A and B are shown apart, each in its own frame.
Chain A
């Protein structure tokens, strides 16, 4: 097994220490950081995303994988920054106002980071102004909003309306998700995309950026 495959395997297994050591060894042997990221860490995460999507893997296992991915990324990221390596895109995420549930949103962040996106996580109970400030500050390609409660999902529409009022709607694409969210609801409120799970969110984001 080559180094890249070894890294990918450790990521898939959620072995943080082994992933970190394999990345360290790869870099010491002169493997380019970009290839370590793409053929090692991201390749491992892609397998995990596919297994999660098809129901063969579960959230606790994905969280362990995220730990392994993070352990490897900590070594690779400074090198990528130094080499001006461009992420696939930038996504701002948040759970909407009044909603403290974050596990789905965090999972989307894990999957997007694992696929090579730069993610800014605003956390939970995110009010409209905080989304607006993040758009002005971070200049993301996409904002993603999450809600678990039927009583809080309505705030997604409010955010989209304020984006229109502030002439920001054309600057960013909007995706929404969460247990009570449906494709119809996403269309009704004027979102650009809907993802039923975290792995699908990556596909939706890639599609939106391809068509931007």
Chain B
């Protein structure tokens, strides 16, 4: 938290993004067992997975970043709910979800594999205008109410930061809209006026949730913006759909003494500039280096180190997977030299270390933070 506040701790914190594949593989269990445990967990993944994550933080001796919690919504008694059924299929477990609304059903299917991340095969909004009416019945149109405290706040304890997640608009829509990113972008392009209405509902809900989260005082609120990445989206869409939330939400968080954190993986440099100059966001990550991203961490520190805590930026899908521990250590030392002066830096990777990332490479990061990273 000291680094997130752009201050200097006793050493550079070290928090590689191991979620979710590295902890899941460590268990040796089929991944669907971890995710489909039947628990009443509030937040994404499951209670079992959150425990696996915390165990893995202890195993590596790293600083934790618990992004799996949230506040339970207090739903009106007559609100329609999604009901799950789980089928065993050739490659794992297929979860079919159905929500009966008075205007008809919303349905989605999600495949959970034994050794791969889950994948949504169908999503609820298939017919844009008709299914959005049903979606509004499922979501409600506010006011939204939530429990006042986090049920799993103590799970990470002092091992790391408790950081509930609010999806940015493009993430939220991508998770609801059937047809993938292309369909989402065509909605933005061809149904611009209708999407204003969709965005308006999202913004009201998101801000209500941010207010509730901030009042419950997590360490920070993270805005999940993978789908706003410039590897797939554009600065124009970010300005139109994400900036209004980020500008207002950061202020709401700060009024309660809570930090605001933005995650945008992949190519993000143009967004770092916008966020630093036009919002009060405190932390931005994972500021990925090429080839996945386009952020020069030294340049980010030089230009925006007085505005943003920087977390990142080691490539996961090639470097962390294939480098030797010595190469990892060398890169970590270079990153610390480039970005750790005066604090406000967390030694970390780009988005999600792959399942087969050698543990030695994660231990190497921790070792460098504890030795070379001493202030």
Partner-B contacts on A (CB < 8 A): 14, 55, 58-61, 63-64, 67, 98, 100, 102-103, 106, 149-152, 179-180, 182, 196
Among B179-187, B244-252, B362-370, the one that faces the other chain is: B179-187
B10 within 8 A of A: no
Query: Is B235 a contact of A151 with CB atoms below 8 Å?
Result: no
What is the chain B residue whose CB lies nearest that of A153?
B317
Query: Is A58 a contact of B180 with CB atoms below 8 Å?
Result: no
Query: Is B356 a contact of A59 with CB atoms below 8 Å?
Result: no
Among B149-157, B226-234, B305-313, B327-335, the one that faces the other chain is: B226-234
Q: List the count of A-B residue pairs having beta carbons below 8 Å apart.
A: 64
Query: Is A150 a contact of B189 with CB atoms below 8 Å?
Result: no
Query: Is A60 a contact of B317 with CB atoms below 8 Å?
Result: no
Query: Is A58 a contact of B230 with CB atoms below 8 Å?
Result: yes
Query: Contact partner of B234 among A58, A67, A98, A100, CB < 8 A?
Result: A58
What is the chain A residue whose CB lies nearest that of B117?
A149
Most buried by B among A14, A60, A100, A196: A60
Task: Decide yes or no: A59 and B233 within 8 Å by CB, A180-B317, A196-B291 being known contacts.
Answer: yes
Query: Is B185 a contact of A60 with CB atoms below 8 Å?
Result: yes
B116 within 8 A of A: yes
Q: For the complex of A and B, list the 4 residue pairs with the smallest distance between their C-beta atoms, beginning with the closest.
A: A58-B234, A180-B317, A150-B354, A60-B185
Task: Decide yes or no: A151 and B234 within 8 Å by CB, A60-B188, A64-B189 being known contacts.
Answer: no
Query: Is A151 a contact of B115 with CB atoms below 8 Å?
Result: yes
Query: Is A14 a contact of B189 with CB atoms below 8 Å?
Result: yes
- B355 cross-chain contacts in A, Cβ below 8 A: 150-151
What is the chain A residue whose CB lies nearest that of B189?
A64
Tell me the interface secondary structure of chain A in the complex: loop
Instruction: Provide the B206-238 mask, 1 if CB < 8 A to any CB of A, else 0.
Output: 000000000000000000000000111111110
B59 within 8 A of A: no
Task: Decide yes or no: A61 and B234 within 8 Å by CB, A149-B116, A150-B356, A179-B292 being known contacts.
Answer: yes
Partner-A contacts on B (CB < 8 A): 115-117, 119, 121, 180-182, 185-186, 188-189, 230-237, 291-292, 294, 317-318, 321, 354-356
CA distance A67 to B187 in the complex (A): 13
Task: Decide yes or no: A182 and B356 within 8 Å by CB, A60-B185, A63-B189 being known contacts.
Answer: no
Query: Is A151 a contact of B356 with CB atoms below 8 Å?
Result: yes
- A102 cross-chain contacts in B, Cβ below 8 A: 180
CA distance A150 to B355 in the complex (A): 8
Query: Is A151 a contact of B116 with CB atoms below 8 Å?
Result: yes
Query: Is B185 a contact of A150 with CB atoms below 8 Å?
Result: no
- B321 cross-chain contacts in A, Cβ below 8 A: 150, 180
Query: Is B185 a contact of A98 with CB atoms below 8 Å?
Result: no
- A55 cross-chain contacts in B, Cβ below 8 A: 294
- B292 cross-chain contacts in A, Cβ below 8 A: 179
B305 to chain A, nearest CB (A): 24
Query: Is A103 a contact of B318 with CB atoms below 8 Å?
Result: no
Query: Is B237 a contact of A60 with CB atoms below 8 Å?
Result: yes
What is the chain B residue whose CB lies nearest that of A98?
B116
Query: Is B235 a contact of A60 with CB atoms below 8 Å?
Result: no
CA distance A152 to B234 in the complex (A): 27
Query: Contact partner of A60 among B119, B121, B234, B318, CB < 8 A?
Result: B234
Q: List 22 A-B contacts (CB under 8 A).
A: A58-B230, A58-B233, A58-B235, A58-B236, A60-B185, A60-B234, A60-B236, A64-B185, A102-B180, A103-B181, A103-B182, A103-B232, A106-B182, A149-B116, A149-B354, A150-B317, A150-B355, A150-B356, A151-B355, A179-B317, A182-B318, A196-B291
Query: Is A63 a contact of B318 with CB atoms below 8 Å?
Result: no
A45 to chain B, nearest CB (A): 17
Query: Is B234 a contact of A103 with CB atoms below 8 Å?
Result: no
What is the chain B residue whose CB lies nearest that of A180?
B317
A151 to chain B, nearest CB (A): 6
What is the chain A residue whose CB lies nearest that of B234?
A58
Query: Is A182 a contact of B186 with CB atoms below 8 Å?
Result: no
A76 to chain B, nearest CB (A): 22
- A103 cross-chain contacts in B, Cβ below 8 A: 180-182, 232
- B317 cross-chain contacts in A, Cβ below 8 A: 150, 179-180
CA distance A179 to B226 in the complex (A): 14
